[in-house]
Chain A
């Protein structure tokens, strides 16, 4: 299985809602990533987990809260988002270090 899956595919939420994005991989990868991508822009790194521990937080606002329950799963909890947070949220995994990253299809988030 060489796939990264993400749910949901689309999400619409209000600014007072709480929601979660989910990501799963079964490639035995020990590094997992969250990226945010706006239209016609490159992916922007948000968080990196290595061996289930948060290793990089790119100064992301606290309304985004990552969680790595086990080596195959990665969640992103969302609370009190702003309309400017609307974007494609991509999850990726890799063997770690400088190895290639496998991206999931993304969750397209709209904040009203």
Chain B
């Protein structure tokens, strides 16, 4: 079945360092979405990528969708303590269904 792999599982950084998480799908995706879940919270939508090779930026966050629409990445520049949480990618496969990656738990040390 559809699988979306995400690495790394954990990332510990010092405040001010950069952070990147990667997603890879076993099949071509229709789109990819990114969510953030704060500790004790619920997933919150960050962004959606639809086009092959698409790059989108939100302040310090940069999202990329691969040319083959099978991989994606999220890069955070100069992390802050407010960036702490779990970042999930979620691939759109069957109509209306998202398959979530395993998530990357980000810890930022002040």
Q: Given A98-B48, A100-B33, A103-B44: A45 and B98 within 8 A (CB)?
A: yes
Residues of A64-112 contacting chain B, CB below 8 A: 90, 96-106
Q: Provide the bound-state CA to CA distance between A101 and B47, in Å.
A: 11
Contact indicator per residue, chain B 80-110, by CB within 8 Å of chain A (1) or not (0): 0000000010001011111111110100000
Q: Provide the bound-state CA to CA distance between A45 and B96, in Å.
A: 11
Q: Provide the bound-state CA to CA distance between A96 and B31, in Å.
A: 14
Q: Provide the bound-state CA to CA distance between A102 and B42, in Å.
A: 10
How many chain A residues sit at the interface, stated as a range, is 20 to 34
Give the secondary structure class of A's interface.
Answer: loop
Q: Provide the bound-state CA to CA distance between A50 and B92, in Å.
A: 16
Q: Given A98-B48, A103-B42: A42 and B96 within 8 A (CB)?
A: no
Q: Provide the bound-state CA to CA distance between A40 and B107, in Å.
A: 14
What's the minimum C-beta distance from A85 to chain B, rounded to whole angstroms?
19
Contact of B102 among A41, A45, A55, A96 (CB under 8 A): A41
Contact indicator per residue, chain B 32-50, by CB within 8 Å of chain A (1) or not (0): 0101000001111100101
Give the secondary structure class of B's interface.
Answer: strand
A43 and B100 within 8 A (CB): yes
A55 and B96 within 8 A (CB): yes
Q: Does A21 contact B (CB under 8 A)?
A: no
Q: Provide the bound-state CA to CA distance between A14 and B11, in Å.
A: 38
Please name the residue on chain A nearest to B42 by beta carbon.
A103
Q: Which residues of A contact B (CB under 8 A)?
A: 31, 40-45, 48, 50, 55-56, 90, 96-106
